[in-house]
Amino acid sequence: MNQENRTPVHVSIIMDGNGRWAKARGKERIYGHFEGVESVRACTEASVEEGVKYLSLYAFSEENWNRPEDEVVGLMSLMAKCMANELPTFMKNGVKFVVLGNLDRLDAELHAEINRCMELTSANDRLTLILFLSYSGKWDIHQAAKRMVADALASPEAAEKILNSGLSVFDEYLVTAGIPDPDLIIRTSGETRLSNYLLWQAAYSEFLFVDTLWPDFRKPEFRQALKAYASRDRRYGKVK
C-alpha cells in the first residue's frame, strides 16, 4: 500500500456473477461473459487513473474446465479476441499484460495470442494487468513445491539455500514470483469465499465481498472499493 495516499499497490478481483447476470435477462451465460469484458476495461482504466500498479483478475480456474464444453470454448474464444482488441489500448495506456496459470491446458491459438500480447507489452510500466487463467491456489503451491524439491535434489548449493532461507524462498517458485502479494481482494456477486485463489499470496490481504454482479462492477464500484480499503488499518499481526 502507498502509505501517503493509502492506495493499494495490488488489487485483485474474483470476477463472479456473469452467468447469473445473463440468466436474469433471459440470455445465455456467454452473454454475461461478453458484458463482463466491459467491466474488465473499466477497472483497468480506473486502476491507471487511481495509481494502482497491479490489477489481477481471476478469469478461469482449474475447476472451470468442468463447465459445459460450449461455455468453455466460448470463453477461450472470447479471451483470444479481447487480447487482440485491447492490445492498442494497452500500448497507449502503458499497461503490461501478464497471464499466469497452468497454460499447458490452453489451445494453441489462445496460447499464441497470450505470448504475443505479453511480449509486445513487456516494456510497459504504468500498470501490470494480470489474468489468472487455468489457475488454482492448490495447483500453484503444488507445482512450486515440486520445482523446489527438484532444485534441491539437483544442486547441494540450492538445497542449502532452500533449507536455510525463510518463507520468502518459496515465493520464488510460485507463478507470481516477482509480483507483490495483493493488498486488496474483491469478490463480486455476494459469494464470500476464495474459491481456491491465491491461497499462499492472500495471507495478509484485505477482503471485500460485494453483492454487485461482475458485469455491473464498473468505475464507481471500483473506486468505492478503494475507498473502503483506505479506511482499514493493516497491522500484519503487530500492535499499533
The yes-or-no answer on residue 16 being catalytic is yes
Say which of 2, 5, 16, 181 is annotated catalytic: 16
- Among residues 2, 5, 18, 64, which one is catalytic? 64
* Nearest CA among 56, 177, 209 for reference residue 128: 56
Catalytic-residue membership of 5: no
Q: How far apart are alpha carbons 186 and 11 in whole angstroms? A: 8
Set of cell numbers at residue 49: 487513473
Instruction: Quote the cell numbers at residue 192.
Output: 464470500
- In contact, 101 and 133? CB cutoff 8 Å: yes
Q: Which three cell numbers stand for residue 83?
A: 487480447
Nearest to 42 by CA among 116, 96, 93, 115: 93
Count of Cβ atoms closer than 10 Å to residue 142 Cβ: 11
Q: Active-site residue numbers?
A: 16, 64
